[in-house]
């Protein structure tokens, strides 16, 4: 790689990981508040909701977007043997960094405690919305540049299968581009004018519907870089081959079809949207699980094949032949732990998606239980592992504390399993999410005290503490590697999995056009009625709440 691209990618890893220190600190604070260890509205001058906003935005929006762009640059350069344009990659980086700094300033000054979903009627300073929009536009710039590189490459390689990692990257950013159009509209047309005081109010239902058009596709934008690693690198790291490259292509294209038209599954409880739309999108949500099931079987088969090559035998005992703790293939440990967590993350997702079951779990701590098994599972572990891998290769520096690096993903996984088990168990007993329970339900001095949730939230605290410890060790390894002496030349050399079977090029699975047409059609059919409902059925005023109290003010004084 050129020095230029190297520096761009390194900046795109360094900036979000530096901010992640704040994000992880607030994760720990969240479990402390939740478990009722402290009974305060703020700690170190940072308010509870301010901290929760910093936690969600930094971990789930900033880190993931920067990483997807950095990894995309590396993937395009490595697999297509052509570096992204200099001007485009610099412009993309600058927009993302300036946007992030604006949003961070708004959050840190306490003027944007609106959580990472920034639903109105919660209102933030315009800098938060504009900064977020700049972060998104910055990622678009990189995508447009890669699309041009791809089209040029394809002209010269018509009969050649596009590398699977490139298909995955382009599918991912196409989903991202389409879904962010809705949130761009929400932010620029509805929220910014309202936040500047130019308009008196917003259609809350429309804003939420537009947000979730984006919001669930967002989770696949987080997930697909990890999937690219599972298909194109994990089998090689395990010492084998990918069982079926065609299965990978089908999975990525299915994500293109089904990632967006399912956002209403976050709005099952909302009165403005009709039952027909909710049922349709509930069923479509089951469809989006199909590419993940395909992935589960394909990757399991690839791992079993690798283990057999290493001499493993038996129905299950082959598993022990996999290179779990080998320092030279440490990335294997990060990826396999992510997959193990995702078995539970996927199953709990299917619980959420079931229209009627959703009633039981919605807005309870079951939901953060689910999503720490997904976004803080395969997604986060893939980001941690690949960020260390890329930093070490690009800077030509050896990994700092390699033995610690090998155990981080295991420690994190144990933490997440305990943490999420606590949250989900509590959630099934009604424990709410996004609530400072230390001030209310877990404060023995409060009339709202609810001792049923003591044990579950303590489990959350224990697991969260272990996650924090793993995060801390990661920072030591990441920054330790970044700042040590260089010992080799800079390069990018991904471990590339070959396909087990000779694979002929099937044109349908190597072209975007038909898939884009079907994607447009399904989105249109699923969302036209949803948007129309949101426009027509706007409700009356919601009861007022105090930020310190989860019950509406009116119910207190009947
Ligand atoms: Fe979700 C809420 C449904 C996947 C993230 N989800 C959320 C929220 C987040 C999130 C952040 O339908 C909260 C939003 C908020 O703040 O309100 N989710 C699903 C479904 C899936 C799903 C059906 N979610 C994800 C992923 C996420 C994520 C991925 C982040 C990256 N989710 C929902 C619903 C809600 C929701 C409802 C709204 C709830 C509410 O009421 O608010 C599916 O895509 C899951 C499919 C996955 C599988 C698993 C496949 C398993 C694999 C592992 C194989 C293992 C191997 C290892 C091979 C079917 C691939 C073998 C091991 C050896 C040792 C050999
Ligand atoms: C929310 C803990 C790491 C993404 C939360 C909540 C807790 C928590 C307790 C609040 C649940 C609630 O009351 O609703 C932790 C701990 C972590 C950690 C202890 C590690 C030390 C992560 C990571 C990610 C993440 C790595 C993503 C990459 C989120 C998101 C929310 C959240 C998106 C939702 C924020 C909101 O409701 O607005 N976390 N977390 N967390 N966490 Fe984490």
Q: Is residue 255 part of a domain?
A: no
Residues framing ligand 2 (Cβ under 6 A) = 24, 27-28, 30-31, 34, 52, 55-56, 59-60, 115-116, 368, 372, 375-376, 380, 433-434, 464, 467-468, 471
pLDDT at residue 555 above 60? no
Q: Is residue 227 part of a domain?
A: no
Do the beta carbons of residue 461 and residue 34 sit within 8 Å? Answer: yes
Give the pLDDT band (50/70/90) at residue 541: low
Residue 112: its pLDDT value, please? Answer: 95
Would you call 509 a catalytic residue per the annotation?
no
Measuring CA to CA, how many Å separate 370 from each of 15, 18, 352? Answer: 28, 26, 9
Q: Which ligand is nearest to the CA of 336?
A: 1
- Residue 266 Cβ contacting ligand 1 at under 6 Å: yes
Give the pLDDT band (50/70/90) at residue 289: very high
Would you call 216 a catalytic residue per the annotation?
yes
Provide, rounded to the nearest whole percent, the portion of the chain with pLDDT above 90.
Answer: 90
pLDDT at residue 217 above 60? yes
Residue 536: its pLDDT value, please? Answer: 84
Do the beta carbons of residue 41 and residue 485 sit within 8 Å? Answer: no
* Catalytic-labelled residue, pool 71, 79, 253, 371: 371
- Which pairs from 45-48 meet CB under 8 Å and 24+ separation? 47/110, 47/113, 47/547, 48/436, 48/439
Mean pLDDT, all residues of the chain? 94
* Catalytic-labelled residue, pool 372, 380, 419, 478: 372
Q: Is residue 264 part of a domain?
A: no
Q: Is residue 26 part of a domain?
A: yes
**CA neighbor of 141 nearest in space, from 73, 60, 77:** 73
CA geometry: angle at 167 spanning 89 and 263, to 5°?
Answer: 90
Give the pLDDT band (50/70/90) at residue 456: very high
Q: Which of 197-211, 280-294, 529-543 has the lowest mean pLDDT?
A: 529-543
Please give the distance, rounded to the nearest whole angstrom, from the Cα atom of residue 493 to the centre of ligand 1.
30
Ligand 2 atom with least separation from CA of 379: 28
- Residue 379 Cβ contacting ligand 1 at under 6 Å: yes
Q: What is the mean pLDDT of residues 362-384?
A: 97
> Last residue of a domain, which of 158, 185, 212?
158
**What are 47's strand-pairing partners?**
42
pLDDT at residue 540 above 60? no
- Per-residue pLDDT reduced to its tens digit, 50-66: 999 999 999 999 999 99
- Per-residue pLDDT reduced to its tens digit, 468-503: 999 999 999 999 999 999 989 999 999 999 999 877
Q: Is residue 379 part of a domain?
A: yes
Tokens of 278: 């909710």
Measuring CA to CA, how many Å separate 475 from each of 100, 284, 427, 514, 525? Answer: 20, 39, 31, 44, 46
Q: Is residue 243 part of a domain?
A: no
Residue 542: its pLDDT value, please? Answer: 60
Residue 202: its pLDDT value, please? Answer: 86
* Catalytic-labelled residue, pool 25, 116, 220, 380: 220
Would you call 313 a catalytic residue per the annotation?
no
R_g of the chain, CA atoms, integer Å: 23
Give the pLDDT band (50/70/90) at residue 546: confident
* Catalytic-labelled residue, pool 310, 434, 450, 484: 434
Q: Is residue 30 part of a domain?
A: yes
Q: What is the largest CA-CA distance in the chain?
A: 74
Residue 548: its pLDDT value, please? Answer: 72
Please give the distance, rounded to the nearest whole angstrom, from the Cα atom of residue 27 to the centre of ligand 2.
5
Query: Which protein residue's CA is at the shortest distance from atom 3 of ligand 2?
Result: 27
Q: Is residue 411 part of a domain?
A: yes
- Which residue segment(s) compose the domain that 4 sits in? 1-158
Residue 558: its pLDDT value, please? Answer: 47
Measuring CA to CA, how many Å separate 448 from each of 39, 112, 434, 451? Answer: 13, 28, 16, 10
H/E stretch holding 47: strand 46-47
Please give the distance, rounded to the nearest whole angstrom, from the Cα atom of residue 423 to the centre of ligand 2.
11
Q: What is the mean pLDDT of residues 124-142?
A: 96
Q: Which of 53, 216, 240, 283 to mutate to test the pocket of ligand 1 (most atoms within 8 A of CB)?
A: 216
| Number of domains the chain is built from | 2
Residue 543: its pLDDT value, please? Answer: 63
Q: Which residues does 321 contact at the CB level (< 8 Å), separation at least 6?
A: 307, 308, 310, 311, 312
């Amino acid at each position: 790689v050129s020095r230029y691209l190297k520096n761009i990618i390194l900046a795109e890893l360094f900036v979000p990981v530096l901010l992640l220190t704040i994000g992880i600190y607030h994760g720990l604070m969240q479990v402390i508040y939740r478990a009722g260890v402290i009974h305060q509205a703020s700690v170190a001058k940072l308010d509870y909701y301010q901290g929760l906003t910093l936690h969600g935005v930094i971990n789930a929006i900033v880190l993931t977007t920067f990483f997807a762009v950095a990894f995309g640059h590396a993937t395009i350069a490595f697999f297509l043997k052509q570096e992204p344009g200099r001007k485009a990659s610099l412009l993309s980086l600058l927009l993302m960094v300036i946007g992030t700094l604006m949003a961070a300033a708004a959050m840190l000054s306490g003027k944007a405690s609106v959580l990472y979903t920034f639903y109105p009627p919660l209102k933030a300073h315009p800098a938060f919305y504009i900064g977020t929009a700049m972060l998104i536009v910055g990622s678009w710039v990189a995508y447009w540049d890669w699309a041009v590189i791809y089209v040029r490459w394809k002209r010269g390689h018509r009969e050649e299968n596009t590398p699977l990692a490139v298909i995955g990257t382009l599918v991912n950013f196409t989903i991202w581009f389409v879904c962010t159009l809705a949130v761009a509209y929400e932010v620029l047309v509805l929220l910014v004018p309202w936040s500047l005081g130019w308009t008196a109010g917003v259609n809350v239902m429309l804003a939420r519907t537009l947000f979730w058009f984006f919001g669930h596709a967002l989770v696949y934008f987080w997930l697909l870089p990890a999937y690219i690693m599972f298909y194109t690198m994990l089998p090689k790291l395990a010492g084998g081959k990918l069982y079926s490259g065609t299965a990978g292509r089908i999975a990525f294209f299915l994500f293109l079809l089904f990632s967006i038209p399912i956002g209403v599954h976050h709005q099952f409880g909302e009165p403005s949207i009709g039952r027909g739309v909710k049922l349709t999108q509930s069923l479509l949500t089951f469809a989006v699980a199909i590419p993940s099931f395909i992935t589960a079987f394909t990757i399991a088969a690839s791992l079993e094949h690798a283990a057999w090559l290493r001499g493993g035998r038996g129905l299950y005992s082959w598993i022990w032949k996999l290179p779990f703790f080998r320092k030279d293939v440490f990335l294997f440990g990060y990826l396999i732990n992510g997959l193990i967590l995702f078995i539970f993350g996927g199953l709990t997702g299917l619980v959420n998606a079931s229209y009627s079951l959703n009633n039981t779990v919605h807005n309870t701590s079951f939901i953060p239980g689910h999503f720490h098994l997904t976004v803080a599972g395969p997604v986060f572990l893939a980001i941690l592992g690949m960020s260390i891998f890329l930093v070490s290769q690009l800077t030509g520096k050896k990994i700092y504390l390699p033995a610690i690096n090998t155990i981080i993903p295991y420690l994190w996984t144990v933490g997440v399993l305990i943490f999420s088990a606590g949250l989900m168990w509590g959630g099934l007993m009604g424990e709410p999410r996004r609530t400072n329970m230390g001030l209310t339900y877990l404060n023995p001095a409060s009339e709202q005290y609810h001792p049923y949730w003591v044990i579950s939230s303590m489990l959350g605290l224990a697991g969260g503490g272990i996650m924090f410890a793993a995060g801390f060790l990661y920072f030591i390894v990441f920054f330790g590697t970044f700042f040590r002496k260089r010992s080799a030349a800079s390069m990018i050399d991904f471990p590339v999995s070959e396909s087990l079977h000779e694979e002929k090029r099937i044109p349908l699975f190597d072209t975007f056009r038909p898939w884009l047409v079907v994607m447009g059609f399904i989105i249109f059919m699923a969302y036209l009625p949803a948007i129309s409902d949101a426009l027509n059925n706007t409700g009356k005023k919601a009861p007022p709440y105090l930020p310190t109290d989860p019950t509406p003010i009116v119910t207190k004084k009947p």
